[in-house]
Every structure is written in structure tokens, then in C-alpha cells.
Amino acid sequence: MGKRVGFIIVISLAVIIVVVSGLLWWNFRASRQINLPAVPQPVPTPAPTPQPTGDAPLAVAIAKNLDIPWSLAFLPDGSIIFTERQGRIKLIDSREGLLPQPLLIMNDVAHVGEGGLLGLALHPNFASNHLLYVYHTYQSGNQLFNRIVRFRMNGRTFVDKQVILENIPGASIHDGGRLKFGPDGKLYVTIGDASVSDNAQDKGSLSGKILRLNDDGTIPSDNPFPNSPVYSYGHRNPEGITWDNKGRLWATEHGSSATDELNLVEPGKNYGWPVIRGDATAPGMVSPVIQSGQDTWAPTGIAYWNGSLFFTGLRGQTLYQAVIQDGTVTLKTHFVRDFGRLRDVVVGPDGMLYILTNNRDGRGVPTAEDDQLIRVNPGKL
């Protein structure tokens, strides 16, 4: 009798393993585009035209075999600089292509869960001052925090390291991490709630906020709250920000397993977490422009192009397009499961969209080519 029960248990476990493996394969690999055409190296310097050419292919791989890339930016010569979550800053040179060695390895990065080396931004006057900013997780004692560090690039080396903001609450989840300079020349930073949801409603805490800083880390005199870097609050885990052609700030935000959000962000406003979610309303709180309902986008990077907001989805494994027209927003989807988990999207100087995959982040099923930087011709979507 005992042997029979043991046999049944073994068979049951085997069936469960097969079913789970099949579900994982279907979700992450069944429709993946393998062997995406690659741009011949070296990568050409992007043309200055703001619109992509109609004859450019829909999607090509710019670089392959990256390791959890998180954020990218274009240097003035068309080279692409990007972070990898483990603590590396790497370069795709406009003449030499992807360099085999990192430009910098940051040994003080704590790569724990979703934390690590995350956002990257260039100063608006980078061409003359060569200032570059990164956001990363670090450990102090037995606690995790995040900080913003500024470097000056001297050729391919990093000098004049300066921490401009630290002791941002961190955790293995909900670290936010996106850095971008706005049209006003200020540095905007997305901060997650570090898994302590109530802190998002506390204007005295940096958790669950979007911050607005001067380029040296000081607080702008015209911020909505006196002597505070807080620009907006009530956020769960915002991971993407961009501005449209009217100068309006938009942000993507992870919901709680569902009800992911696209928000139109205004100074001093409260976006509701954890009090409201989805389309719920409450006095003094702002509901999202659109939200995912029972679906999960896990939205991250976002960019504006030609009347639309394009944002990437991790669990959604999709490039989402929010079309803004006559005061309404309509959602379209592209590349559903074609490239797996998508982390960031940036409009290049050639008018193309540049997308980072994140299939090696521990939550995907990578192919031999992952992770990748993919160039997409938005004119063909």
C-alpha cells in the first residue's frame, strides 16, 4: 500500500512539473521572435531627422547578450550608454559597436531582488559639462537604501563622483528608480514605496513619490511643498516618466498584481496609493487616466512620439501605445510576447524607438540571445 501511495505521489509531482513547465514555455517562449535581424556593426551614428525613414525595418537587434539592462541614453555622437542591474555601465559605441568591457563597475551597488543599478540620465548640457546621473540601491548595515550619484565623463572614464541624494528607503521590491530631466531643466526621480505602502501618503517620507531636484541635488524654490523634493505623492512603484509635446508629465506605475496605471502627473497632487486603486475615487486624490483592470502590464519605461505615449510591460511582455487625441487616451498593443519582458523605451535622435528586454531578471525564460536592445520603426506599427 505504501509503495502504491509513493508511486502515485511521484507521478503526480511529475505531471505538475510538466504542466508548470508547459505554462512557463507558453507564457514566455511560445511566440518569441528568435534570431531577430541585427544591425551590422559598427552601429551608425543616428541621423538628425526627427522622423524615421519609411524603408527602415520594423524591428532589428542593436545589441544582444546583455545582462538585465535597465536604462539607456544617447550620447551626442549617437553612442548608447546603458546600465545593467548588477552594477555595470556599458557602451554601444557609434563606431565600434557594443564594447566587450563595461565603462564602469560600481562595487557599492546592492543587487538584491528588484534593486541594483537602475536609472540613468544625462544632464541637458551634457555636451559641454559631461555630467551623468545614476540611481542605485546600496546596503548600510542590514538595511537597503537608494541614492542618486552624479559623475563627470572624461572620455570613457568617470570622475568627480558625487552623491547628490541618499538614504532613499529601499527594499528588494518597489525601488522605483527612473531618472529624467524635464523641459524645465530639473531632475525628476521616481521612488517606490519600498513595500511600506502607508509611507506613500506621508509627505515627510521619500517613499512612494516623484521627486523634483536641481541638478546638484538641492531643492527647487518653486517645488509644490516648501523645502521638500516631493513633486507628487501617493505612488506605489512608478518606474517610467516622460513629457508630451505640451510639456505635461506622464508616469507609469505598478499596481497591486493588477490595476497598473498611466498617470498625468501635476505638482502637489496625491495619486491615491494605498487608499484607492484602479478607477476608485476619493476626495483630494487623483485617479489614473487609464488602468489595466484585472490585467497586468507591469509598466516601466515610457516615451512620447508623434501623439502617442509608448510604454513597456514586464509581465505584460508588450509594447503599449497610448494614443492621445481630443482629450482621450486609447490603448493599443504591439509585439505581444514577441520579445518577452520589456524594461525601457527611448526615442532615439533618428526618431526610432529603442527598447530593452529583461528576460534575464529572474522572472522570464531567456533565449540564447537575451537580453537585447531592439530598434523599432514606429512608423510601421
Give per-residue pLDDT as tens, 99-115.
999 999 999 999 999 99
Interval 257-311: pLDDT, tens: 899 999 999 999 999 999 999 999 999 999 999 999 999 999 999 999 999 999 9
| 111-127: average pLDDT | 98
Higher pLDDT, 133 or 48: 133
Tell me how far apart the alpha carbons of residues 42 and 92 are, in angstroms, rounded to a whole number: 9
Is the pLDDT confidence value at 35 over 90? no
% of the chain exceeding 70 in pLDDT: 88
| Residue 45 confidence (pLDDT) | 46
Taking phi over 0 as left and psi of -120 to 50 as alpha, with beta for the rest, 208 belongs to left
Report whether 361 contacts 377 (CB < 8 A). Answer: no
Whether 372 shows a pLDDT value over 90: the answer reads yes
The helix, strand and coil proportions of the chain, stated in percent and rounded to the nearest 5, come to: 10, 40, 50
Would you state the cell numbers that stand for residue 243, as one nine-digit string? 513629457
Query: Is the Cβ–Cβ distance between 74 and 52 less than 8 Å?
Result: no
Helix (H, G, I), strand (E, B) or coil at 13: helix
Determine the Cα–Cα distance for residues 281 and 330; give it in Å rounded to an integer: 21
Q: Evaluate if residue 17 carries a pLDDT over 80.
A: no
Would you tell me which CATH number, out of the four given (3.30.70.100, 2.120.10.30, 1.20.120.430, 3.20.20.80), belongs to the domain 46-380? 2.120.10.30
Residue position matching grid coordinates 475615487: 281
In the structure, what pLDDT confidence band is assigned to residue 235 with cuts at 50, 70 and 90? very high
> What confidence score (pLDDT) does residue 37 get?
72
Q: How confident is the model at residue 54 (pLDDT cuts 50, 70, 90)?
A: confident
Q: Is the pLDDT of residue 64 over 60?
A: yes
Per-residue pLDDT at 321: 98
pLDDT digits (tens, 9 = 90+) for 70-84: 999 999 999 999 999
Q: What phi and psi values does residue 250 have, to the nearest 5 degrees?
A: -120, 150
Residue 13 pLDDT > 90: no
- Quote the CA–CA distance of 155 and 167 in Å, as a whole number: 30
Asked if 370 and 327 count as a contact pair (C-beta separation under 8 A), the reply is no
pLDDT for residue 43: 47
How many angstroms separate the first and last alpha carbons of the chain?
62
State the CB neighbour count (10 A cutoff) for residue 26.
11
pLDDT reading at 15 higher than 90: no
Residues shown for the chain: 381
Confidence of residue 33 (pLDDT cuts 50, 70, 90): confident
The C-alpha atoms of residue 14 and residue 17 are separated, in whole angstroms, by 5
pTM passes above 0.85: yes
How far apart, in whole angstroms, are the C-alpha atoms of residue 182 and residue 167? 23
Is the CB of residue 122 less than 8 Å from the CB of residue 150? no
